[in-house]
Structure formats: structure tokens, C-alpha cells
A and B are shown apart, each in its own frame.
Chain A
Amino acid sequence: MRKKIFEFIGFFSLRVCLYIVLAFLFIFLYDIGSKGGGAISWEFISQAPRRGMTEGGIFPAIMGTFFVTMVTALLAVPMGMFSAIYLNEYAKQTRITRIIRLSIRNLSGVPSIVYGLFGVILFVNVLKFGTSILSAGLTLGLLTLPWTITASEEALKTVPNSYREGALALGATKWQSIRTNVLPNALPGMLTGTVLGLARAAGETAPIMFTGAAFFLPFLPRSFSDQFMALPYHLYVMATQHHAISQVRPLAYGTALILILFVLGMNMSVVILRYRLRKKRRA
């Protein structure tokens, strides 16, 4: 009987914790949804800001975030996956690899502003990419890399060793066993971790503030060496830097909502991709 009561209390408190977290999430989403929903219209997502950003839309910011995320992905996805494959499948597990792995984990804890300043020095000044989509995207790429490497490595670790051994025992080379038997099984996990990392990067402000994001640009960037508007930075501006903050509050909420939808869209796309991959693997 006592046992039953304890069990009940235990499960009950676990459930309460979950509900509290969910409650915060819903309050948060409801607040942004209700206050931002009104601002959203076709005009809002298809036009540039007008009249000192008190009217018009956020089209340049949407496109800027889209382009910069592409650059981020181009750096972080292949580099992250390849590094993880090397670390988990090829590298001998020595002290040095342990130190490397530990350093990567630690890098994921470095504040994003530090990446921003590093990006200014490396990409903007030393490599002379200027304040541009390229510099900002690469900076975000560096910020994402520790996440993608770690997530990809975890995904590779979940592939049972018996898949590798089974392939090797049939005369597969190491690369064949990895390509045909390990990667297909790790890919859904690798993609999930990677896209979550990218989604997080897409919402970052500090790293792009000094490396390429512009306060206001009424037109779209024409190349990767142009400056750009970005959703998170635009939101920051609307919320704290604008000359008429209370007047543009609805626009700020609208921007926040679009940013959340953007990130949600990325996460949804990976869920769909995972589902497709898994269905294909079944066959």
C-alpha cells in the first residue's frame, strides 16, 4: 500500500513538472501568436519596411535569414558530419581524441557573442569578406559545428556494432561498411541534430550583429558579399533600438511569430525527412 502511494506521488510529480513546462510553452506561444497574429498579412511577408520601419513588411529580413542559414548549412552540415564520421569511425580512441571531443563539447557552451567577435576578426577583417552574408553565415556555421558534430556522433554511436561487424565479415571494406550499413541508419539522427543546430543558429542575433546584419536595408542582398537584414536582428531592433518602440510593437510581435514559424518549419521538414528515410529503409 505504502509502495502504491509512493508510486502515485512519484508519477504525479513527474506529470506536474511536465505540465508546468507545457503551460509555459503555451502561454509563451499564445502571447506571441495573439499579439503577432494581427500584424501578419501578405503585405507583411512580401514587402520591405517603410516609413522608418513603422509600416510595411519584413520581406528582406525573411530572405536574409534564409540566405544566411544556407551559408551556415553549407559549412556546418558537411563539416559536422564528416568530422563526426572521422571521430567516431576512423580515429583511434586515444587521449588526444578524447581531448578533441571534450573541446568540441566545450565549444558548444561558448557564448554566441564570443563567436560574433571571433567572426569579425577572422572573416570580416583577416579574410576580408567584409560585413556580409558570407561572414555572418560562416560565423553561425562555426557556432553550429560543435552541435552538429556532437549530434552526429551520438547518432553514429546508436548504430549497433553488429552492423559494422556483419558487413566487415562479408568482405566489406571499412568505408563500404560505413557507407552502406552505418550512415543510412545514422542519417535520420544526424539530420535531426544538424537541423536543430541550424534552427538555433537561424535565431541568433549576437553573432550576426557585427558580421553582416544591417539595421535597415529596403532591398534584397544581390550577392553573398552584401549586407542583409535578418529576422532575429530585426526583432532586436524593433524591440529595443527603434525610435518609436511602442508604435512598432505589433510589428515586432509579428516578426517574432515569423521567426518562430521559420524555425518550426525547419524542424518540421526534418521530421518529414526522417519519416521518409525510415520508410525507405524498411524496404
Chain B
Amino acid sequence: MKNQAKIEARNVNFYYGSQIALKNINIACEENKVTALIGPSGCGKSTFIRTLNRMNDVIPGIKIEGDILLEGENIYHPKVDIAVLRKRVGMVFQKPNPFPKSIFNNIAYGLRINGMRDKRKIEMIVEKSLKEATLWDEIKDRMDENAFSLSGGQQQRLCIARSLAIKPEVILFDEPCSAIDPVATAKIEELIHQLKEHYTVIVVTHNMQQAARISDFTAFMMLGEIVEYDKTDKIFTNPSNTLTEDYITGRFG
């Protein structure tokens, strides 16, 4: 089944209480590609991306309809172990959220809660993840320092390394650069671009240039619906929908 989507939403509706936040979402994200979600604030980008690792489950009063399939299996099936799902589908948040621990322990955390005890192995994976997140050279001599001593951009890459450490298949980014300066943003964009070699990446952004730079596919959302979903080139050069065109040409936003 090579042309099956890695992760796919089918007819998804989502409600906060009685308020509908996602309407009939259909999208299939391909393996080893970067899919960007763009759209004005409040259109449901975060809500949608958080349905993909069931992060919304903790919010009281929510309801979801339809299916989200990870390699064809519905992640909302009652038998699904949410902890296992979240290991497969990692997430990086909008604001860098390192734990108040040392740099080393931030990365080791995910390994330890998953039962890894072998110190050598943990050290190896920590190093490998930090290298993968292009942070190793900057901090290799500071592993015992508190993670809060890092700059915002470094903290965000630390959070990326933290999710890489547990070997996810899909990584979700919810506006990963919105709290970070331009230079650090460029580094993270570069990193996301590299990550698709091994992972399936989904990025929420309200920065259209960013979507154009880093993604292979782009979905444009508005008012809880996907207006258009296509190859990024197509969306930015020749959108089919006039709403998309208006948005990317900056006529509203």
C-alpha cells in the first residue's frame, strides 16, 4: 500500500461544546512530505492539528465526528492507546515549552517515561536527537544547564529534539516560529525541511512565505473548513479558489 496517505482526515467535524470549529475536513497527508496549514487566525488550524494526536481530548465538552486514519487505522477507535499514538505522532508547540530540567534531562524525559533505563543508550539517543535538531554543536558542553538558559530559538529546537528522541512517525508543528526571531526562524525552517527525509511533517503557520518555502502541500483553511488543498506550488501560483487567491495575495488576513 505505497500510495496510502500517512495520516488522513475523513469527514471530520469538531465541536467545542455546541460551537462547531471544524466542518467536514478531508485531507490526506503524504509520507515524507511537509504539509502546511495556512489560514486566518481562529480558522481552526490548531484545533485540527491537535485532533491528529488527540491533544484535544483533555478539553472538556469537545466532540469529534468522522475518522482520522494513521496508516489506515482510525486513531479514535476505542481500543487505541493514546500514549502509544502520541509516541507515533509527536508535537511541537507554538511557544517553546522546555521542562524545568537540564538540557540533557529534557530529551531523556521521553525515553525514561517510556521505560528506557540503559544510561549509555539514553546518552546516545540524546546526542543523536540534538544533532538531528541541529542543536548539538551549540550546546554539547552545556548538557547539565537548565533548559531555560537557552535562547527562544534554541529552546524550540530542544523541543523538536525532545520529540525526535522517541522516534515519531509524524511530527506536528503548531506555529513553531511565531514566538521566535527571524534568524532562529530560518534555522527552524531549514530543520523542518530536513526532517521530511525521515518523518511526515505537518506545519501550521500563518506566515504564507514560510508555507511556500518549506512545504510540499498546502491546505488553506477558513472558518473551520478547508477551502483548497493542493501542491504548494499550485496554491501559491495558480489557486483554483478565489478565496485562496485573495488570502495569499494579502487581500484579507
Contact = CB atoms under 8 A, between A and B. Distances in A.
A281 B100 contact: yes
A172 interface: yes
Contacts of A169: 53, 55, 86, 90-91, 93, 163
A171 B97 contact: no
A82 B91 CA distance: 30
Contact of B113 (A92, A165, A170): A170
A282 interface: yes
Nearest to B89: A169
Nearest to B110: A170
Interface size class on chain B is: 20 to 34
Given A92-B60, A162-B93, A165-B55, A171 B110 contact: yes
Given A92-B60, A281-B100, A283-B144, A171 B114 contact: yes
Contact of B99 (A93, A168, A181): A181
A69 interface: no
B24 interface: no
A274 B91 CA distance: 33
Nearest to A163: B99
Nearest to A168: B86
Contacts of A166: 93, 97-99, 159, 162
A185 interface: yes
Contact of A163 (B58, B97, B144): B97
Contacts of A187: none
A171 B87 contact: yes
A171 B113 contact: yes
B126 interface: no
Interface in B182-217: none
A172 B113 CA distance: 6
B116 interface: no
Nearest to A160: B97
Contacts of B159: 166
A103 interface: no
Interface string A173-202: 100100011000100000000000000000
A167 interface: yes
Given A162-B97, A281-B101, A168 B58 contact: yes
Contacts of A176: 113
Nearest to B86: A171
B26 interface: no
B95 interface: yes
A92 B109 CA distance: 28
B170 interface: no
Contacts of A173: 83
Interface string B90-119: 110101011111100000011011100000
B74 interface: no
Contacts of A162: 93, 95, 97
Contact of B87 (A163, A170, A180): A170
B166 interface: yes
Given A181-B99, A281-B100, A283-B102, A167 B146 contact: no
Interface string A75-97: 00000000000000000110000
Given A163-B97, A173-B83, A283-B102, A168 B60 contact: no
Q: Considering residues B58, B98, B113, which has the most beta carbons from chain A within 10 angstroms of its beta carbon?
A: B113
Nearest to B83: A171
Nearest to B104: A283
Contacts of B101: 281
A234 B41 CA distance: 67
A166 B110 CA distance: 10
Contacts of B112: 180
B124 interface: no
A95 to B, nearest CB: 13
A144 B84 CA distance: 41
Given A92-B60, A283-B144, A170 B109 contact: yes
19 contacts: A160-B97, A162-B93, A163-B100, A165-B55, A165-B93, A166-B159, A168-B86, A170-B86, A170-B90, A170-B109, A170-B163, A171-B87, A171-B113, A172-B110, A172-B113, A173-B83, A180-B109, A180-B113, A282-B146
Minimum-distance CB pairs A-B, first 6: A162-B97, A171-B87, A170-B110, A169-B91, A171-B86, A171-B83
